[in-house]
Amino acid sequence: YGFLSESAAFSRACEQAKIAFVGPPPEVLETFGDKTAARDLAIREGVPVVPGSPGPVPHLEAARAFAEEAGYPLIIKAAMGGGGRGMRVVQKPEELEAAFERATSEAAAAFGDGTVFIERFVASPRHIEVQILADADGQVVHLFERDCSVQRRHQKVVEVAPAQNLDPELRARLCADAVKLARACGYRNAGTVEFLVERDGRHYFIEANPRIQVEHTVTEEVTGVDLVQAQIRIAGGE
C-alpha cells in the first residue's frame, strides 16, 4: 500500500521478475497516474468530465489564456498526484499567478512532477466514489458507492455508504460509468472511481485511484465483501 502501490515502474519490475503484484497492470497505473490521461480516457468513452484545459498547462501564460476564455472560478490541479496536494482554487485573475506557482511547486515537491491542468471549479458538489473489482478475465463489478463529501483541505473526513438521498437513476449512471472506464483500460484488481455531482444531478469523472483506499472498510461493512482478500485472490489468478 502507500504510493508504491501506484508505481507503474514497480508493477512492471514485479511483472518482469514473475512476481505477482497485488494491484493493476503497469499500463493501467500509467493511465490513472496521469490525471490528464485519465481525463482523455473518460472523454473517449463518453463519460462526462468537468470542463477544463484539453491537457497539461505548461506555463503561466497558457494558464492566463485558458482563464480568459473559460472564466472564473477555476481550480489548478497536479496531473500526477492527489490527496489535495498541488491543488489551488482561483477566484479572480489577480490570484492566478501565485496559485499557479504554488500548485506547480507543491506538485513537483510531492510527486516529482510539477505538471498541472485546470478545470472549472465546481462549488459545493457532492463527492461520490464507486468501488470496483476486476479480475484477470476482464470481468468488472462495482460494489456501489461511498459519499465522501465531508472534507477538510481536500482530505476526506467522513465516508458514508450507501450515499444518502442519492437518486437511484444517478446511482446507476455513476456505477455504470465506473465499470465502463475500468473495462476500457483493461483494469485488474481493486480500485475507486471518483465523481463530483452538482446540485442539478449532473456528474463528472474526476479521477481513479488504482489501489485499495483507506476507506475500503466502509464498503466492506455494507457489502460483506473482504476487499483485501479479493485483491489477493485476483492476483493469484481467480
**Which residues are marked as active site?**
211
Q: Name 127's bridge partners.
A: 196
Which helix (H) or strand (E) covers residue 140, if one does?
strand 140-147
Q: What angle do CA 7, 44, 131 make, to 5 degrees?
A: 50
Phi and psi, residue 128, nearest 5°: -115, 130
Q: Counting every residue, how long is the chain? A: 238
Torsional sign, CA 57, 63, 68, 71: positive
Peptide bond into 168 cis (omega under 30): no
